[in-house]
Structure 1
Amino acid sequence: MTSELQNKSRDAAIRLTMMPRDTNAHGTVFGGVILSYIDVAGGVEAVRHTKHNRFVTVAMKEVIFHEPVFIGDLVSFYAETIRVGNTSITIHVEVEAERFGTPGVLVKVTEAEVTFVAIGENREKVKIGGAAEPKN
Protein backbone atom coordinates (compact mmCIF):
# COMPACT_ATOMS: atom_id res chain seq x y z
CA MET A 1 0.00 0.00 0.00
CA THR A 2 2.55 2.55 -1.19
CA SER A 3 1.64 5.95 -2.57
CA GLU A 4 3.30 9.17 -3.56
CA LEU A 5 3.12 11.97 -1.02
CA GLN A 6 -0.06 13.73 -2.15
CA ASN A 7 -1.64 15.75 0.63
CA LYS A 8 1.05 17.85 2.25
CA SER A 9 -1.60 20.04 3.91
CA ARG A 10 -2.73 17.24 6.23
CA ASP A 11 -1.67 18.13 9.77
CA ALA A 12 0.01 15.30 11.68
CA ALA A 13 -0.74 15.15 15.40
CA ILE A 14 2.83 13.88 15.86
CA ARG A 15 5.71 12.97 13.55
CA LEU A 16 8.97 11.27 14.48
CA THR A 17 11.81 9.10 13.24
CA MET A 18 11.96 5.52 14.50
CA MET A 19 15.20 4.65 16.28
CA PRO A 20 17.01 1.38 17.13
CA ARG A 21 15.64 1.48 20.70
CA ASP A 22 12.12 1.06 19.21
CA THR A 23 12.76 -2.35 17.62
CA ASN A 24 11.72 -5.87 18.52
CA ALA A 25 13.69 -9.11 18.13
CA HIS A 26 12.85 -9.17 14.40
CA GLY A 27 14.46 -5.80 13.70
CA THR A 28 11.18 -4.01 12.99
CA VAL A 29 9.57 -1.41 15.22
CA PHE A 30 7.73 -3.03 18.13
CA GLY A 31 3.95 -2.78 17.80
CA GLY A 32 3.69 -1.49 21.37
CA VAL A 33 5.76 1.55 20.42
CA ILE A 34 3.34 2.34 17.59
CA LEU A 35 0.36 1.80 19.93
CA SER A 36 1.78 4.24 22.49
CA TYR A 37 2.19 6.93 19.83
CA ILE A 38 -1.33 6.24 18.54
CA ASP A 39 -2.52 6.91 22.08
CA VAL A 40 -0.58 10.19 22.22
CA ALA A 41 -1.82 11.30 18.78
CA GLY A 42 -5.42 10.54 19.75
CA GLY A 43 -5.00 12.55 22.94
CA VAL A 44 -3.64 15.51 20.98
CA GLU A 45 -6.70 15.41 18.71
CA ALA A 46 -9.10 15.13 21.68
CA VAL A 47 -7.65 18.28 23.22
CA ARG A 48 -7.56 20.13 19.88
CA HIS A 49 -11.16 19.22 19.08
CA THR A 50 -12.68 20.15 22.45
CA LYS A 51 -12.33 22.81 25.09
CA HIS A 52 -11.27 20.15 27.59
CA ASN A 53 -7.64 19.36 28.37
CA ARG A 54 -7.73 16.22 30.50
CA PHE A 55 -8.58 12.83 28.99
CA VAL A 56 -7.87 9.19 29.77
CA THR A 57 -7.82 6.35 27.27
CA VAL A 58 -10.62 3.84 27.82
CA ALA A 59 -10.52 1.76 24.64
CA MET A 60 -8.35 1.07 21.65
CA LYS A 61 -10.07 -1.04 19.04
CA GLU A 62 -9.83 -2.03 15.43
CA VAL A 63 -6.06 -1.77 15.48
CA ILE A 64 -4.76 -2.94 12.12
CA PHE A 65 -1.04 -3.33 11.43
CA HIS A 66 -0.88 -3.13 7.63
CA GLU A 67 2.89 -3.02 7.12
CA PRO A 68 6.01 -3.12 9.32
CA VAL A 69 7.85 0.02 10.38
CA PHE A 70 11.65 0.12 10.16
CA ILE A 71 14.50 1.99 11.83
CA GLY A 72 14.89 5.40 10.19
CA ASP A 73 11.32 5.62 8.90
CA LEU A 74 9.71 9.04 9.37
CA VAL A 75 6.37 8.13 10.90
CA SER A 76 3.36 10.47 10.91
CA PHE A 77 0.28 9.96 13.07
CA TYR A 78 -2.86 11.61 11.67
CA ALA A 79 -5.86 11.86 13.97
CA GLU A 80 -9.48 12.70 13.17
CA THR A 81 -12.45 12.96 15.52
CA ILE A 82 -15.22 10.59 14.49
CA ARG A 83 -17.60 10.81 17.44
CA VAL A 84 -18.16 13.08 20.46
CA GLY A 85 -20.43 12.06 23.32
CA ASN A 86 -21.27 13.69 26.64
CA THR A 87 -18.09 12.51 28.36
CA SER A 88 -16.22 10.61 25.63
CA ILE A 89 -14.59 11.26 22.29
CA THR A 90 -13.58 8.68 19.68
CA ILE A 91 -10.65 9.33 17.40
CA HIS A 92 -9.47 7.51 14.26
CA VAL A 93 -5.68 7.48 13.97
CA GLU A 94 -3.93 6.63 10.72
CA VAL A 95 -0.20 6.00 10.72
CA GLU A 96 1.97 6.51 7.65
CA ALA A 97 5.69 5.87 7.21
CA GLU A 98 7.97 7.66 4.84
CA ARG A 99 10.59 4.99 4.29
CA PHE A 100 14.17 5.86 5.08
CA GLY A 101 15.99 6.51 1.83
CA THR A 102 12.84 6.98 -0.28
CA PRO A 103 11.67 10.57 0.27
CA GLY A 104 8.14 11.37 -0.83
CA VAL A 105 6.87 7.79 -0.79
CA LEU A 106 4.36 7.02 1.98
CA VAL A 107 3.18 3.66 3.24
CA LYS A 108 0.04 3.29 5.36
CA VAL A 109 1.34 1.12 8.19
CA THR A 110 -1.27 1.14 10.95
CA GLU A 111 -4.69 2.48 11.86
CA ALA A 112 -6.80 2.36 15.00
CA GLU A 113 -9.85 3.76 16.74
CA VAL A 114 -9.26 5.17 20.22
CA THR A 115 -11.87 6.30 22.76
CA PHE A 116 -11.06 8.78 25.51
CA VAL A 117 -13.11 9.96 28.49
CA ALA A 118 -12.88 13.50 29.83
CA ILE A 119 -11.97 13.65 33.51
CA GLY A 120 -11.85 16.34 36.17
CA GLU A 121 -9.21 17.16 38.76
CA ASN A 122 -10.32 14.25 40.95
CA ARG A 123 -10.22 11.85 37.99
CA GLU A 124 -14.00 11.60 37.79
CA LYS A 125 -15.85 11.61 34.46
CA VAL A 126 -16.93 15.08 33.41
CA LYS A 127 -18.88 16.45 30.48
CA ILE A 128 -16.88 17.63 27.52
CA GLY A 129 -17.01 21.42 27.37
CA GLY A 130 -17.77 21.66 23.66
CA ALA A 131 -16.06 21.70 20.33
CA ALA A 132 -13.20 24.06 19.65
CA GLU A 133 -13.37 26.55 16.84
CA PRO A 134 -12.94 24.93 13.43
CA LYS A 135 -9.38 24.79 12.09
CA ASN A 136 -8.64 27.16 9.23
Structure 2
Amino acid sequence: MRFHTRKWVKPEDLNPNGTLFGGRLLEWIDEEAALYSIIQLENQKTVTKFISEIDFQSSAVQGDIIEIGIEVVKFGKASLTLKCEVRNKMTRKTIISVDRIVMVSLDENGQAKPHGKTEVEYVKNRLAED
Protein backbone atom coordinates (compact mmCIF):
# COMPACT_ATOMS: atom_id res chain seq x y z
CA MET A 1 0.00 0.00 0.00
CA ARG A 2 1.26 3.45 -0.87
CA PHE A 3 0.83 6.17 1.73
CA HIS A 4 0.21 9.43 -0.10
CA THR A 5 -0.99 11.95 2.45
CA ARG A 6 -0.03 12.97 5.94
CA LYS A 7 -2.21 14.87 8.39
CA TRP A 8 -1.26 16.51 11.65
CA VAL A 9 -3.92 16.00 14.34
CA LYS A 10 -4.82 19.45 15.68
CA PRO A 11 -7.14 20.58 18.52
CA GLU A 12 -10.02 21.23 16.09
CA ASP A 13 -9.84 17.56 14.96
CA LEU A 14 -10.54 16.13 18.43
CA ASN A 15 -13.72 14.71 19.94
CA PRO A 16 -14.76 15.30 23.60
CA ASN A 17 -12.54 12.36 24.63
CA GLY A 18 -9.44 14.17 23.37
CA THR A 19 -8.87 11.73 20.50
CA LEU A 20 -9.24 12.15 16.75
CA PHE A 21 -12.93 12.54 15.83
CA GLY A 22 -13.96 9.62 13.61
CA GLY A 23 -16.01 11.88 11.34
CA ARG A 24 -12.96 14.04 10.63
CA LEU A 25 -10.91 10.97 9.78
CA LEU A 26 -13.62 9.68 7.44
CA GLU A 27 -13.72 13.11 5.77
CA TRP A 28 -9.96 12.88 5.16
CA ILE A 29 -10.29 9.32 3.81
CA ASP A 30 -13.13 10.31 1.45
CA GLU A 31 -11.15 13.28 0.16
CA GLU A 32 -8.02 11.17 -0.38
CA ALA A 33 -10.03 8.47 -2.21
CA ALA A 34 -11.63 11.13 -4.41
CA LEU A 35 -8.32 12.79 -5.29
CA TYR A 36 -6.66 9.45 -6.00
CA SER A 37 -9.58 8.34 -8.20
CA ILE A 38 -9.81 11.62 -10.10
CA ILE A 39 -6.13 11.34 -10.98
CA GLN A 40 -6.37 7.64 -11.92
CA LEU A 41 -9.55 7.99 -13.98
CA GLU A 42 -8.63 11.42 -15.38
CA ASN A 43 -12.12 12.72 -14.63
CA GLN A 44 -12.91 15.45 -12.11
CA LYS A 45 -16.53 14.25 -12.04
CA THR A 46 -15.72 11.21 -9.90
CA VAL A 47 -17.83 10.55 -6.80
CA THR A 48 -18.01 8.22 -3.82
CA LYS A 49 -20.66 5.52 -4.33
CA PHE A 50 -19.92 3.14 -1.45
CA ILE A 51 -17.77 2.79 1.64
CA SER A 52 -17.74 -0.61 3.32
CA GLU A 53 -17.71 -1.12 7.05
CA ILE A 54 -14.80 0.51 8.75
CA ASP A 55 -12.65 -0.87 11.52
CA PHE A 56 -11.28 1.55 14.10
CA GLN A 57 -8.29 -0.26 15.59
CA SER A 58 -6.63 2.49 17.60
CA SER A 59 -6.93 6.22 18.14
CA ALA A 60 -4.83 9.29 17.51
CA VAL A 61 -4.34 12.27 19.80
CA GLN A 62 -3.39 15.89 19.34
CA GLY A 63 0.07 16.22 17.85
CA ASP A 64 0.08 12.81 16.18
CA ILE A 65 0.99 12.65 12.51
CA ILE A 66 -1.12 10.17 10.60
CA GLU A 67 -0.74 8.93 7.05
CA ILE A 68 -3.42 7.74 4.66
CA GLY A 69 -2.72 4.80 2.38
CA ILE A 70 -4.76 3.92 -0.68
CA GLU A 71 -4.53 0.83 -2.87
CA VAL A 72 -6.54 -0.17 -5.94
CA VAL A 73 -8.53 -3.36 -5.47
CA LYS A 74 -10.11 -3.44 -8.94
CA PHE A 75 -11.15 -1.45 -11.96
CA GLY A 76 -14.80 -1.70 -12.95
CA LYS A 77 -16.37 -0.43 -16.16
CA ALA A 78 -17.11 3.03 -14.71
CA SER A 79 -15.78 2.51 -11.20
CA LEU A 80 -12.61 2.14 -9.21
CA THR A 81 -12.57 0.10 -6.00
CA LEU A 82 -9.99 1.07 -3.40
CA LYS A 83 -8.96 -0.03 0.05
CA CYS A 84 -7.54 2.26 2.67
CA GLU A 85 -5.43 2.13 5.78
CA VAL A 86 -4.66 5.02 8.09
CA ARG A 87 -1.76 4.64 10.45
CA ASN A 88 0.28 6.64 12.91
CA LYS A 89 3.34 7.85 11.01
CA MET A 90 5.71 7.52 13.94
CA THR A 91 4.56 4.22 15.48
CA ARG A 92 3.16 2.61 12.27
CA LYS A 93 0.17 1.47 14.36
CA THR A 94 -3.01 1.12 12.29
CA ILE A 95 -5.75 3.56 13.27
CA ILE A 96 -8.45 2.52 10.81
CA SER A 97 -8.88 0.23 7.84
CA VAL A 98 -11.54 0.31 5.14
CA ASP A 99 -11.83 -2.75 2.90
CA ARG A 100 -13.76 -1.18 0.01
CA ILE A 101 -14.36 2.33 -1.25
CA VAL A 102 -16.12 2.44 -4.62
CA MET A 103 -15.62 5.57 -6.68
CA VAL A 104 -17.61 6.16 -9.89
CA SER A 105 -16.66 8.22 -12.92
CA LEU A 106 -19.56 10.41 -14.14
CA ASP A 107 -20.35 12.13 -17.42
CA GLU A 108 -21.64 15.70 -17.75
CA ASN A 109 -25.21 14.50 -17.00
CA GLY A 110 -24.26 12.76 -13.77
CA GLN A 111 -24.49 9.26 -15.25
CA ALA A 112 -21.84 6.55 -14.87
CA LYS A 113 -19.22 7.00 -17.57
CA PRO A 114 -16.96 4.12 -18.67
CA HIS A 115 -13.34 5.11 -18.09
CA GLY A 116 -11.48 2.45 -20.09
CA LYS A 117 -8.78 2.01 -17.42
CA THR A 118 -7.52 -1.43 -16.42
CA GLU A 119 -4.41 -0.76 -14.35
CA VAL A 120 -2.85 1.84 -12.10
CA GLU A 121 -1.14 4.63 -14.00
CA TYR A 122 1.34 7.11 -12.60
CA VAL A 123 1.27 10.74 -13.65
CA LYS A 124 5.03 10.74 -14.27
CA ASN A 125 4.51 8.00 -16.88
CA ARG A 126 1.69 9.90 -18.59
CA LEU A 127 3.89 12.98 -18.83
CA ALA A 128 6.76 10.95 -20.31
CA GLU A 129 4.47 9.71 -23.11
CA ASP A 130 3.57 13.19 -24.36
TMscore range, shorter length: 0.7 to 0.9
Give the CA deviation at 1:34. Answer: 0.7
Look up the match of 1:72.
63
Q: What amino acid sits opposite 1:61 in the alignment?
A: S
Root-mean-square deviation (CA, aligned residues, Å) is 2.0
- In the alignment, the residues of structure 2 paired with residue 87 and residue 46 of structure 1 have an alpha-carbon distance, to the nearest angstrom, of 11
SS at match of 1:105: coil
Corresponding residue of 1:110: 96
The residue number in structure 1 matching 2:128 is none
**Partner secondary structure for residue 106 of structure 1:** coil
Contact 2:75 2:117 survives alignment (8 Å):
no
* Distance in 1, Cα, partners of 2:4 & 2:108: 25
Offset of 1:49 from its aligned partner? Answer: 2.8
Task: After TM superposition, give the deviation of residue 33 of structure 1 in Å.
Answer: 0.6
Kindly indicate which of the two structures has a greater share of residues assigned to helix. 2
Select which of 2, 15, 37 maps to 2:6: 15
TM-score between both structures, scaled by the size of structure 1: 0.79
Q: Distance in 2 between matches of 1:41 and 1:131?
A: 20
Give the structure-2-normalised TM-score: 0.83
Instruction: Give the match for residue 97 of structure 1.
Output: 88
Q: Which runs of 4+ in 1 moved over 4 A?
A: none
Structure 2 residue aligned with 1:32: 23
Q: Does 1:120 align with 2:107?
A: yes
CA 34–55 in structure 1, closer or farther in 2 if over 3 Å, else same: same
User: Higher relative contact order at CA 8 Å, sep ≥6: structure 1 or structure 2?
Assistant: 1
For residues 83-134 of structure 1, the C-alpha deviation after alignment (integer angstroms, 9 at most, x for no partner) is 1111111100110113xxxxx4221111112111111222221111325664
Name the structure 2 match of 1:129.
116
What fraction of aligned residue pairs are identical, expressed as a percent? 24
Q: Give distance in 2, aligned partners of 1:122 and 1:13.
A: 31
CA contact (8 A) 1:49 1:81 kept: no
Q: Which runs of 5+ in 1 are unaligned?
A: 1-9, 99-103
Closer/same/farther in 2, CA of residues 111 and 134 from structure 1, 3 Å limit: same
